[in-house]
Amino acid sequence: MAEGFSLKDELFNATTLGDLAAEYSAALSFFDGEAFHAEVVAGLEGRELMERLEWIADCVEARLSPAFPEMADQLEAAMPAPLDPGLRDDDFGRFIHAVPGILAVRHGLEAHRERALDLLYAATQRFSVEFYIRPFLNRWPEETMARLEAWAGDANYHVRRLVSEGTRPKLPWAKKIDLQPGEALPLLDRLHGDATRYVTRSVANHMNDIAKVDAEAVVARLEAWREAGVQDGKELDWMTRHALRTLIKDGHPGALALLGYRPDAAVEVELRLADGPVRIGEALEFTCTVNSAKSEPVLVDYILHFHRPNGKTGRKVFKLKQGKTPMTVTKAHKLKGNATTFQLHEGPHRIEVQVNGRVVTGADFDLIS
């Protein structure tokens, strides 16, 4: 990302909000696009990304009917054309089109549930509204789940994706939902055979969320999907790898076996580190050789244990290589000194090699500044 890049300024600026003003003024004769644009742009400064979304919704709301059913009609009238149904992936939509979702929650959650859900159905075909379905799942779980069950068979893949994405237990940035992690599995049973990668990626991410709290349920469900044969074999293999990524890093035996890796594979591993300490900002250079008496499918990771001044140790798993033995891999892992999410400290560190979920060997090294 370029230095000085601002996502909030990229998404919400005079140009993008000019587009939004034009959409509303073209659809609604009473909507003063110029006044809206002047007000909303002037209020961007000092607001972060999500605060800007709320501010934009404030400015739109002030110009619409205070009665929610009529407001919802006006919001739908101003929506752009649905996202291209011919695309198959990564067609998330524009953040400026989150306004109907925000207002559906503000004004429809309590007194106008059905109309608000209709509005979300229309809105998600322009911008993904998984954040805004979640308050409805918490307030009206049975009624909202009934909608999602119907939407799981919808012709529009954005609607189908909402069913999976909106019910994810650990959706990033999103409001927590009260559903138990496995409650949406029957919906995923229907969606896992979807022909669109945008949907199947969401299903796999949802399964990875569940795996963090109920690993056995995920492994069992993936086995059942394999036996059912509904999804294309290659796509299901991709989904399975993506769904199990956390369990694989944790060395879960059932997850590894499902991917064809034997946790008890008889392997010999040689780990060689470059001589001397490693300086913060430079790279830890190492070579790893994996051998076995007969060729074995192996998934090789390396684990870094980071020194902390408080005496505790940080731990992070990284992928190295997957394939069959014998194999030799050379790697230079940059130990950045200016990372924003992870601070390095001088002192004793350790690297370990994990093969098919089992730590086989390791070596110590010193990190200096």
Provide the residue range defining the domain that includes 277: 267-368
The pLDDT tens digits for 304-324 are 999 988 878 889 999 999 999
pLDDT tier for residue 11 given thresholds of 50, 70 and 90:
very high
**Residue at a domain's end among 193, 227, 258:** 258
Note whether residue 332 is domain-resident. Answer: yes
The pLDDT tens digits for 186-227 are 999 999 999 999 999 999 999 999 999 999 999 999 999 999
Note whether residue 306 is domain-resident. Answer: yes
pLDDT tier for residue 3 given thresholds of 50, 70 and 90:
low
- Per-residue model confidence (pLDDT) at position 158: 96
Q: Are residues 188 and 136 in the same domain?
A: yes
Angle of CA points 183, 114, 205, to nearest 5°: 35
Work out whether strand 278-279 and strand 283-292 pair parallel, antiparallel, or are unpaired: unpaired
| Phi, psi of 260, rounded to the nearest 5 degrees | 90, 15
Q: Are residues 315 and 244 in the same domain?
A: no
Give the mean pLDDT of the chain. Answer: 94
Note whether residue 192 is domain-resident. Answer: yes
Report the alpha-carbon distance of residue 325 to residue 331 in Å, rounded: 18
Q: Are residues 287 and 159 in the same domain?
A: no
Residue 1 has pLDDT above 80, yes or no: no
Note whether residue 319 is domain-resident. Answer: yes
DSSP summary character for residue 276: S
Give percent of the chain with pLDDT exceeding 70: 98
Q: Tally the domains of the chain.
A: 2
Burial status of residue 320 (CB atoms within 10 A of its CB: 0-12, 13-18, 19 or more): buried
Burial status of residue 115 (CB atoms within 10 A of its CB: 0-12, 13-18, 19 or more): middle
Q: Are residues 99 and 240 in the same domain?
A: yes
CATH number at residue 143: 1.25.40.290
Q: Are residues 249 and 279 in the same domain?
A: no
Note whether residue 38 is domain-resident. Answer: no
Residue positions counted in the chain: 369
The pLDDT tens digits for 274-285 are 999 999 999 999
Report the alpha-carbon distance of residue 241 to residue 116 in Å, rounded: 37
Q: Are residues 111 and 188 in the same domain?
A: yes
Query: Residue 223, SS3?
Result: helix
- Per-residue model confidence (pLDDT) at position 340: 67
Contact 41, 5 (CB under 8 A): no
Burial status of residue 241 (CB atoms within 10 A of its CB: 0-12, 13-18, 19 or more): middle
Q: Which of 119-133, 177-191, 282-296, 310-324 has the lowest mean pLDDT?
A: 310-324
Q: Are residues 227 and 324 in the same domain?
A: no
Which of 308, 310, 290, 307 lies closest to 298, judged by CA? 290
- Per-residue model confidence (pLDDT) at position 286: 97
Which of 119, 114, 194, 121 lies closest to 206, judged by CA? 194
Q: Are residues 194 and 289 in the same domain?
A: no
Q: Are residues 203 and 71 in the same domain?
A: yes
Residue 336 has pLDDT above 60, yes or no: yes
- Give the contacts of 368 (CB within 8 A, at least 6 positions apart): 277, 278, 279, 280, 346
DSSP summary character for residue 127: B
The pLDDT tens digits for 219-267 are 999 999 999 999 999 999 999 999 999 999 888 999 999 999 998 899 9
- Per-residue model confidence (pLDDT) at position 110: 98
Contact 159, 125 (CB under 8 A): yes
CATH number at residue 357: 2.60.40.1930
Query: Residue 165, SS3?
Result: helix
Q: Are residues 317 and 201 in the same domain?
A: no
Mean pLDDT in residue range 19-45? 98
Note whether residue 233 is domain-resident. Answer: yes
Mean pLDDT in residue range 37-43? 98
Query: Residue 355, SS3?
Result: strand
Question: Highest mean pLDDT: which of 85-99, 124-138, 173-187?
Answer: 124-138
**Residue at a domain's end among 258, 279, 302:** 258
Q: Are residues 195 and 318 in the same domain?
A: no
Q: Which of 47-51, 124-128, 340-344, 345-349 has the lowest mean pLDDT?
A: 340-344
Q: Are residues 250 and 276 in the same domain?
A: no
Mean pLDDT in residue range 156-173? 96
| Phi, psi of 189, rounded to the nearest 5 degrees | -60, -35
Note whether residue 134 is domain-resident. Answer: yes
- Per-residue model confidence (pLDDT) at position 2: 46
Residue 37 has pLDDT above 80, yes or no: yes
Which of 19, 194, 161, 158 lies closest to 82, judged by CA? 158
Give percent of the chain with pLDDT exceeding 90: 87
Note whether residue 2 is domain-resident. Answer: no
Work out whether strand 358-368 and strand 278-279 pair parallel, antiparallel, or are unpaired: parallel
**Residue at a domain's end among 199, 230, 258:** 258
